[in-house]
Structure 1
């Protein structure tokens, strides 16, 4: 196990030794902007894993919001120019009032947001799934928007293509986490794991869910939800990007760090120096000095090995 190393205990404060290993670069001043960048990356990742070109179309629109998508790109996404132009006002909408107004012009009404999971919207007039996905990706800003996004996602679940249904729940969970709406967030996570409306899950769905919730939340009150997701994964492995997101976010708590460390050991994942230093900080914050010292020994060994041979380490720390 990577925690079992025999080194002498540090004589200096635990946080001093690692102070140079943790980047002091500030996050963007607007956390929402930073989150939108993460959503953009996750949408690219989701598109590659599902081989659905609609996500490439989304990324083109993000870069060229007022321009018209080229016809060949629309065809590859299964869209006709007439349909795209008909729904383009949603893409250009500045807020949800504009979105709801355009929906109304199309005969689409949002269901009530108080308990959308209990509503059967299969007979309701629906916007195209691509419009809903784009709206969930890039149009949610406020807490009120998050509630509307929740209603919109649930109304679309029963009619969306099966491979896109997990994306509806993942994106909705992201915005609920951003606004600390923990009760509906837990309901969405439960629906995700239950496979409501025929949702079929693969490993990358779990990775995306964990990364976005961790990135979105600024409250450690979301940590129990993240820990439960990790527990419910069973033997499914997590990748480095997910471990990074779980440990390097504003909502990380000591107990979440402990759950992540156990998951690393369970799947025999070698932690990076960045992971180890983050665990030291989390454990020290909780007063868990014994656990912090154990990780600190691994940090010392990691740094010693780095002087003589190649070891798994973040690129930022090689400089």
Structure 2
């Protein structure tokens, strides 16, 4: 098992060794800790746990690359290991999140706080790291801004069954030759069918999150909410560019999502002004009815 951690404190090797032994329930003399650039000749390569560490610059002080032998009975998950290490070493720990984003990390404190963090690295030969933002206030890092991280929400998978049904039905019509062959129905970038799928899916992802009371965190950045409303605007315009049978399918699909959206919202034509929506969008008088409804549970008021 391997683990990759950052720590905000500069820990001495003995402290790292003791913490690893505690996390894995092994003896301290079964742990080998060494700086990655140091002489490797005296390493205890048969140790139950091997740790290479490097000094780093910025808001994190050490990076730890840890390998645990299969013979060690304790093989915690990365999240559990990070939590144990934070307590054992009494330091804030960051470890990579599951999303395919270089900046996406989880942060754990010695007191058990777990939150998302945005960790940025400079382009220098030896990069400088900065914890740009966190989703919950971290007492040990009082200067770090607290905000929702929209890039994390964008990466999280949300099923879109209505969009899938629309695409399958449109493809069936084409294969059955019930409508003439047309470039508009080729699901390739920049085609009308491609845009229909993309904008309908964006609208559906937001609606599905709303139906679940904004799971998994209860948070949803307002910027993503109004991006979904913009996608709904574009869906409204697309039927004019599609063959009649496919346009009818699109209207039916978006109608189903609209009904779900209405159940989770209430009429309100002033919400945008106080929610940080850009000025050109905050004037709702000329916009679609979906702009003049507000979620029953405001997910951007969590912090």
TM-score by length of 1: 0.30
> Relative contact order (C-alpha < 8 Å, sep 6+): which is higher?
1
Structure with a larger share of its residues in strand = 2
Larger radius of gyration: 2
TM-score by length of 2: 0.31
